[in-house]
Structure 1
Amino acid sequence: MGQKDITQKNFEAYNDVFSDIVNGTLFDGREVVKPEALVDAVAKSQYKADDNVIHEQERDVAKYWTDKNCYIRLALL
């Protein structure tokens, strides 16, 4: 335990699987996010916290949703 499941991460990187997860989680199973509207994105981001220190976040899978011009990132728990 404690190690990320690489197989699960690779599986979730497929656009059809990713869209199923997002649709099931955010949209009660309605097909709002379509697999063909997803493009691979950078899974790292930076932010400045209240302590004025720049932090880096790394997600397991990140996609750009072209229909809505936004990023969707997943982190495995």
Structure 2
Amino acid sequence: MYSHIEYSHKFTAPASIRARIAEATITIAFARLLLICNLSWKARLYIGKSAREEARYEAEDEWELHVETWSYR
């Protein structure tokens, strides 16, 4: 005979699996945070380095202009 079983609730994973997923989620979130911090630190370092180089080139240009102006006198 055919017996029909009705499921009155949705399937949920066992508690041990849910606990592992929760632990993994926390670990993944922490790893992403570290990665973002590391990348932003490198970006800030690169931007700062670029700004310093730009300022140095600008100062050299001003100095060359000053020397050229001074040598024409």
TM range (shorter): under 0.3
TM-score by length of 1: 0.20
Q: Which has the larger radius of gyration?
A: 2
Larger RCO (CA under 8 A, 6+ residues apart)? 1
